[in-house]
Amino acid sequence: MDPRVEKQLAPLRRKAVDLGLGPALKLVRDTVVPTARRNRNDDRHLALLLSFVLRENSNCIDVGAHRGDVLRTILRHSPQGRHIAYEPLPHMAASLTTDFPTVQVRQAALSDTPGVLPFTYVRSRPAYSGLRDRVPDTEEVEQIEVAVEVLDEALPADYQPTLIKVDVEGAEYGVFRGARKLIAASRPHLVFEFGAGARDYGTTADEMYELVDSDLGLRIFDLDGDGPYTLPKFRDSFETGRHFNFVAHP
């Protein structure tokens, strides 16, 4: 969208949300905006995937749990599993802890190096928050600091996930680099987003494909079930934005 139009619409959108019209706006957006339609379809297909992949006692890791939409589906299919949710925003981590008392909620981000890093909290659109500031100046932004963990170092030695879902606004590559030992040992399904946000982290389609397909030995599919992806096809999908949600498995 033209930045000038976005600048004019931003305060109207925030006012509509304040008036309780957020769900109605989302419905319109999901119907009209191509990427939103793609997300809506992928969400449906993800729910179907989880129903086939998960057993009653499967363990799952939800990285970028946000409000817990995927986590809620995970718990429905695997109520006896040991689930871990990562959410760096303090108020959302607190809500997840309250809403999902059986889940271990960790208020932290994930990458391949532990520490404490600046984090951009997009107050007007929390789902766009991340380790990089990648939103237009029309949004309401607050800079905070968050703890950063590495999956290979942060989990109990006996923990074996069946599925790892990662949606961290472009930082997915770092999450997987920090989980190579865990993924090699457990061979879980990886559900991940890989779209335009990765450019803000300097990650290319070739690098992500090399890591997931070659290094980790997993085949990549989109959530329409098309695949396994070759490198040229994965590269084309990244450049065109035709697909940006994927699942990888042995």
User: DSSP E strands: which ranges in 28-176?
Assistant: 60-63, 84-86, 104-106, 109-110, 115-122, 141-149, 163-166
Residue type, 68: G
Mean pLDDT of the residues in the chain: 89
Residue 7 banded pLDDT, cuts 50, 70, 90: very low
Residue type, 85: A
Size of the chain in residues:
250
Containing H/E element for 220?
Answer: strand 219-222
- Cis peptide bond prior to 11, omega within 30° of 0: no
pLDDT at residue number 46: 96
Confirm if 129 and 89 have CB atoms less than 8 A apart. yes
Report residue 31's pLDDT band, with 50, 70 and 90 as the boundaries.
low
Secondary structure (3-state) at 88: coil
**Is residue 243 over pLDDT 90?**
yes
pLDDT confidence of residue 134: 80
| 3-18 helix and 22-32 helix, angle to the nearest 10 degrees | 140
pLDDT of amino acid 186: 97
11 — pLDDT class (breaks 50, 70, 90): low
Q: Is the pLDDT score of 24 beyond 90?
A: no
Rounded mean pLDDT, 100-114: 98
The pLDDT tens digits of the residues spanning 167-197 come to 999 999 999 999 999 999 999 999 999 999 9
The whole-number average pLDDT for the span 220-247 is: 96
Which pLDDT band holds residue 23 (cuts at 50, 70, 90)? low
Q: Lowest-confidence range among 55-59, 134-138, 183-187, 216-220?
A: 134-138
What pLDDT score does 138 carry? 77
Mean pLDDT to the nearest integer, 78-106: 98
| Amino acid present at 18 | D
**Average pLDDT over every residue of 90-106:** 98
